[in-house]
Structure 1
């Protein structure tokens, strides 16, 4: 039988559709969601809201080339609120669920975000900013805080803005500012915080914020408190005061406690996220999922997803069970925890990445978004009573039916210190038994993330080019328990390097990889490890390092997170001597690099600043080594995931062309 499918090419990145933010309707029969596609003509993205029922064709609720997202059903199911930038900045709109013209209901000077309906449907709370300084000329900027810049804003943090919580009355359209002017909400870009959450009686709003003490804000960047404020406005009261982060608060059914995602900072930034609870009366945090040795939330690395997705914990109708997402052995599944027994059960499993969900308590149904190794993303409904799952969408059907996809196989190996670790191997398209193939080793960033059972366009592209693609979760990775995550501390360039080399050896045992035609690539920490590998072995014929780290001494001060990353993720202690960082810097061993190297870096990357690549490039070039560098303008650390479409395409072409240049196909 003739295979009519073709191989994936770089330009296919324009053909993908990205699904996000599934919101189940009050009647439990429909799901509103966001579909994002690339607008090739305008070289950006457009997002629109769709609705799909279990027994009806899906229909488009919004249109246009603007961004329309964060759909939220009114409690009676008649309206959907959403955020759109169709008239300039991002504002709140209302539209009837049967369609029609959307009505703009907020006219704030700045963007708004994270709308949430009050329980009775009369109001919507949201977040917006206030500009506190209207400067008309250039003036010196005084710096007093340790946190100076942010990758999310591609530069220095603008201290002229403060976030506030607002509430709009749906009937009168009157907007009330809930948090007072003198309450400063500092915004750490890594967390979905400040999201207001209504109490069940509608009298209060909870939210999370970093504490107001500047010393603690600088020295304990992950510490966040939970605050409660009257829904009419007033002075917020700090509830949770323990060290550690607090994310995504929800109220218990009696409104006496707040459940949230966080930890007590036992292992600094590397501590697994847990389900926690704090009582309004005493403010003492309790870890609910302490016996569940997995981190909550989705930590899966991917390049084929876009858009915010609701992944708050959700309470059952009787208030005795909490539903949440957790990373587990390369998967992200949905679990439940009994508030009475603390027992954790897997509710929606499978070899896939669930990256958003909402719960209809009355109907006992869950809408969720998921991806698999052969599908970038779709929406499904799960009935908790019958345990029946219904897939609602197939948004990439035409594209996926037209191309060949490589399905990875999971393999395991034992590390030097006897830790069981896992990875995957993808055969090239057109694989033939008995033939030897070139191979690309991919290394994920973080390193406190995970590779997993999700679609990865870059990997599929390399498989289409005739490469075996191998990738693993060495020490430091999430999803395998606290011990493996923490095992990376004070081990950079040591046992992590041994893990990845041992995994490569394990992959070679499969028999169809040519050990003389190996390539290596990775981004962020993966870029660091790519640099480290080629400065310590010559087994790879070519390397591509992306948004890399080459010199921890300058990374410490130049990165938006470097000063605490070194303490909390690298050394596990306060830095005492810069020479400690030089010893684990690939730049210290640059004379030993003999592998042809392509360096890719975004010019506005604040997480791993471009000076990291510039140091490496200049050092190698001055030694007459084979090295090339490509800079991507107007791009930050997230170029491969959500960057300017034409630059995402260019990046993929550079990777493929450079590896093809040095790997001989047979």
Structure 2
């Protein structure tokens, strides 16, 4: 959601951070050190790609902290490294895309590059490997910028991708923002466009106009057209007002604005759109439309629109799940990966002109699944009879799964992280009803749980608010799961505003941040306390992003929590509106700009109720956070310090909304663990 305007922030961060280091890091608990070391050994699986004929399986796995590509049979056998790396961990290779012939695999690699790209790293180039030969990968195009989302045309003659020529950063609001210098909003704007390269080699062409920032795209079945979601630059800000376009896959082609949620009437008005997908005959485009707070974390209803124009149709009004990803499996059917009660489900839908209806659930995953292309994305063979993906849960570290569609949950075909076992307690799904809503959350037991004892509990509020807490093996970065290892219950609710109960549930906290979702959370805590021996006088609260906002706001509404860690939070929606540079996300949630309706922003601003806060609070944030700007954390910290509330602020230099520096990832989790041990010690 945001980008800070700051001139003195780096100086302040440098001045204040050393004080915070001395105050909050403290002596390292040996259990924390052991946990962080163990989490750091897990190898992350970033992408999974099944060949169209279902015979080959490729995946990208971190090897000595560098992404590298593995190729295997569909059952995971005969796995071997491919690409240009002379040895593991010396360079990076990623962004998999199989050609329709199942022989050629495209990817990005910087292993042979001598040119410098983003962040001073080597510039990746575009390569293609013929997996049926012993030849080395061939460089298809030399790049000068950021590339992602490789996609072959259905006829196999062209490779397209999203491209930011001359990029200095990753095209995402989650990435660290540029320094706020120069003429703001004018200088240094980087535009992501669709670029194409002929499969047989040739010059790179950018086919979409420089006046539009493209977020995602899809080839038409005829290989002559593309559909894409785009908005005027700057791209970080304008995804929330993006439109759906169709144009010929040629430079300077005219385009048609097919869907504009900003001007149309009906259920899609003012909402966000994602994942355009052509029907097999090219006559229709389906997409997901909903109230989404972050580009990339997709959720909403399924919509359809004629490829030649017309009004879009909500195909799934009133459903009680949240579709997050889908693909056409035939002209009359879709395969939809959806969130239901905090779990991922692959379901088959029939689709007609006016309605898409769920026919059956093919499997429910134990945890989060994905192929690296999109949230809950899956990789299918061309006939949709086989599927592959990565899965991770609270109980199992990431592995690649693959199998036949319709035979239940596929089995793991790798054992990359099989040796890792949880050091935390068991997990249960908890469900309750509140104010007419059905709500779900996850409860993690303390390690070495003894039912005769009473335990403290830490409540973690997820980001978004349009999102969902799903099962994930924790990383070294900030998260709530490790608290269980130290002897806490951990409760992770999915209150109103979350995915998993349908679009009406997602929209239920519009213009109501911190109120209805808090009541849902408190009702969930009551339900947990009836179930397990939680000490209500030892409750902690934490969260990141929207969860960071809640961690700042909730102590102004209740004294039930005794310690807080607020990550990348928002203290004052009114000042935030003027500080950030992606304010377009706010109007769909607040109903108007802060200049037109300041009261709706004021009522959810913690700073307006700050004298009610008594809770010791640790505040952490990235110095260049483009979603939740660091001045918000300064404002909250300054108020608590003035009021004599125990507090500490740590600003991490160079970090954005997601921390990339391993030392900072480790430090922020260690501080949070130490903070709760200090104020909520397990007995």
TM-score of Structure 1 vs Structure 2, range by shorter chain: 0.7 to 0.9
Q: Which moved more, 1:544-553 or 1:483-492?
A: 483-492
> Superposed, which structure 2 residues align to 1:299-318 within 5 Å?
313-316=326-329, 318=330
How far did residue 387 of structure 1 move?
Answer: 5.2
1:10 partnered with 2:36: yes
C-alpha spacing 1:622/1:184, structure 2 compared with 1 (3 Å)? same
Do the aligned partners of 2:624 and 2:654 also contact (CA within 8 Å) in 1? yes
The aligned counterpart of 1:406 is 425
C-alpha spacing 1:278/1:414, structure 2 compared with 1 (3 Å)? closer
The aligned counterpart of 1:308 is none
1:334 partnered with 2:346: yes
C-alpha spacing 1:11/1:571, structure 2 compared with 1 (3 Å)? farther
Gaps of 5+ in 1: 40-44, 133-147, 188-192, 298-310
**Is the partner of 2:242 in helix, strand or coil?**
coil
1:599 partnered with 2:625: no
**2:357 is matched with which residue: 331, 343, 364?**
343
Do the aligned partners of 2:230 and 2:244 also contact (CA within 8 Å) in 1? yes
**Is the partner of 1:9 in helix, strand or coil?**
helix
> Superposed, which structure 2 residues align to 1:326-475 within 5 Å?
326-340=338-352, 342-344=356-358, 345-355=360-370, 356-362=377-383, 364-384=385-405, 389-400=410-421, 403-415=422-434, 417-457=435-475, 458-475=479-496
| CA offset digits 1:246-277 (Å, max 9, x no partner) | 42333222223323333599xx9999523233
| CA offset digits 1:548-597 (Å, max 9, x no partner) | 11111111121233x34443223578753434433321112222222211
Do the aligned partners of 2:577 and 2:594 also contact (CA within 8 Å) in 1? no
**Is the partner of 1:111 in helix, strand or coil?**
strand
**Is the partner of 1:15 in helix, strand or coil?**
coil
**2:163 is matched with which residue: 118, 124, 128?**
128
Gaps of 5+ in 2: 1-30, 114-121, 262-270, 371-376
Q: Please provide the CA RMSD for this pair.
A: 3.3
1:235 partnered with 2:233: no
Distance in 2 of aligned mates of 1:510 and 1:468: 12
How far did residue 100 of structure 1 move?
Answer: 5.1
**1:73 is matched with which residue: 90, 94, 98?**
98
| CA offset digits 1:478-498 (Å, max 9, x no partner) | 111123222212222322222
The aligned counterpart of 2:629 is 609
How far did residue 233 of structure 1 move?
Answer: 3.8
**1:25 is matched with which residue: 51, 69, 73?**
51
**Is the partner of 1:504 in helix, strand or coil?**
helix
> Superposed, which structure 2 residues align to 1:159-198 within 5 Å?
159-171=188-200, 173-179=201-207, 183-187=210-214, 193-195=215-217, 197-198=218-219
The aligned counterpart of 1:82 is 107
Distance in 1 of aligned mates of 2:560 and 2:548: 17
The aligned counterpart of 1:556 is 577
Distance in 2 of aligned mates of 1:166 and 1:524: 33
Q: Which moved more, 1:240-249 or 1:15-24?
A: 240-249
Do the aligned partners of 1:373 and 1:454 also contact (CA within 8 Å) in 2? yes
The aligned counterpart of 1:141 is none
1:222 partnered with 2:256: no
Distance in 1 of aligned mates of 2:602 and 2:320: 34
Greater relative contact order (CA < 8 Å, ≥ 6 in sequence): 2
**Is the partner of 2:369 in helix, strand or coil?**
strand
> Superposed, which structure 2 residues align to 1:509-524 within 5 Å?
509-524=530-545
Distance in 2 of aligned mates of 1:75 and 1:604: 41
Distance in 2 of aligned mates of 1:427 and 1:578: 42
**Is the partner of 1:175 in helix, strand or coil?**
coil
Number of residue equivalences: 607
TM-score norm. by structure 2 comes to 0.81
**2:559 is matched with which residue: 528, 533, 538?**
538
C-alpha spacing 1:338/1:583, structure 2 compared with 1 (3 Å)? closer
How far did residue 615 of structure 1 move?
Answer: 0.9
C-alpha spacing 1:602/1:226, structure 2 compared with 1 (3 Å)? same
Distance in 2 of aligned mates of 1:379 and 1:78: 21
The aligned counterpart of 1:633 is 653
| CA offset digits 1:295-352 (Å, max 9, x no partner) | 321xxxxxxxxxxxxx5x3222x43322232221101222222234732232232332
C-alpha spacing 1:464/1:534, structure 2 compared with 1 (3 Å)? same
Do the aligned partners of 1:547 and 1:608 also contact (CA within 8 Å) in 2? yes
**2:661 is matched with which residue: 644, 657, 665?**
644
**Is the partner of 1:120 in helix, strand or coil?**
coil
